[in-house]
Homo-oligomer: A and B are copies of this chain.
Amino acid sequence: MSYVTEKLPSVLNDAVLKHSEPVPEDFVKVKGIDYSNPNAMDMRASDLINAMKTMGFQASSVGKACDIITEMRAWKGKHVDELEEHERQGTIDDDGYQRTTIFMGYTSNLISSGLRDTLRYLVQHKMVNAVVATAGGIEEDLIKCLAPTYVGDFSLKGSMLREKGMNRIGNLLVPNDNYCKFEEWIVPILDTLLQEQEAYIAEKGQQCLDANTDITSPIWTPSKLCDRFGKEINDESSVLYWAHKNKIPVFCPALTDGSIGDMLFFHTFKSSPQQLRLDIVADIRRINTMAMQASKAGMIILGGGLIKHHIANACLMRNGAEYAVYINTGQEFDGSDAGANPDEAVSWGKIKAEAKSVKVCADATVVFPLLVAATFAKGQETQNDSMICE
């Protein structure tokens, strides 16, 4: 007993100087960057993240996210030759091994941001197997092939911007002319799509709405449209272009909620009484089937809302994803799905109880470039040029 405590009221001694149980041996000590390490100058992403793992708070979460992404990429199952015919589904790599099916989701604003180059890189190199985005996440990728988005400021006045025809997205600016250019680009495509639809009805008659999974079969769905747009834009800077090239489906159930919707709306005036139709039932079958067939499922979800729920819901069809990385700024106190942590998804069976999962509470533009640099773009492994086998 210390010399002060003999005069101390006993409640103080008991409460403040309460002794603790021995610390379990496997407890990890908090520690940070060792700047005496020769790599500690202008550190590489992987060294930074490695040091973050034992730092605590969201640094720990970034560290954990890095490990989970690494693990979901590294997982290798059986060789296709070891599989029964009906098991030959899900993601199989070029060498014939089962791999994790990675679902990547992102909100529209991230395509508006410079993160688009990173997202495109992942799709270009077949590092992910399915994409889920909101409408803006589709159209802004296309529009950026027609005209640039600019860096502005969060505090620019809306009325002044509207006068100049500059649309603000956070601290970014999109000239409204970009949407005029987009209209010019898309209208002829919509015309063609309508013709194809009408020809198909004529051909199929009563069977016209029957199930069909041919990507070019013109009872259009959002994912079919995204594939077609990727083909038409024919621009290597585009996520959709590479998704088309690499046969990576892009899902966007509410594809009408943005500029494409504006254009489809406009097109109804032109096409009347004919009308282009976009079915969302075939797409829910498509994404759910992918989740069911995946050998392992990994989720990388940047931002909240629809895209987060959509991937998680698809993974319920397999009784839960094996890996989940959420990066967003939502909090759970308001009961929103956007702010829900992975453990809420466990209760629903959308993430397996034994899965590796983490939520990083941060704007994705700050965290994801770092994470990708230390995983997908670390450059030390051979690339995982996976192939989708449907």
Contact = CB atoms under 8 A, between A and B. Distances in A.
A337 B136 contact: yes
B282 A279 contact: no
A330 B264 CA distance: 29
B306 A40 contact: no
Contacts of A210: 273-275
A208 B201 CA distance: 8
Contacts of A340: 169-170
A264 to B, nearest CB: 5
A309 B58 contact: no
Contacts of A197: 209
Interface stretch (A69-77, A93-101, A175-183): A175-183
Contacts of A114: 30-33, 51-52, 54-56, 59
Nearest to A289: B265
A189 to B, nearest CB: 12
A361 B275 CA distance: 41
Contact of A59 (B21, B262, B317, B366): B366
Contacts of A337: 107-109, 136, 169
A343 interface: yes
Given A34-B117, A340-B170, A15 B256 contact: no
A374 interface: yes
A48 interface: yes
B332 A115 contact: no
B211 A206 contact: no
A387 B240 CA distance: 44
Contact of A33 (B306, B360, B369): B369
A270 B6 CA distance: 9
A interface bracket (residues with beta carbon within 8 Å of B): 35 or more
Interface string A88-122: 00000000000000000001110011111110010
A245 interface: no
B172 A335 contact: yes
Contacts of A187: 2-4
A114 B30 CA distance: 6
A319 interface: yes
A217 to B, nearest CB: 12
Contact of A319 (B15, B166, B313): B15
Contacts of A155: 155, 343
Interface string A148-179: 11110011111101101111111111011101
Interface in A276-314: 276-285, 288, 292, 303-306, 309-310, 313
**CB-based closest 8 A-B pairs:** A170-B335, A20-B165, A41-B379, A158-B346, A305-B305, A55-B114, A32-B114, A32-B117
14 contacts: A7-B270, A11-B317, A12-B265, A16-B266, A27-B150, A42-B46, A42-B378, A52-B366, A58-B363, A109-B335, A262-B313, A329-B333, A329-B336, A329-B339
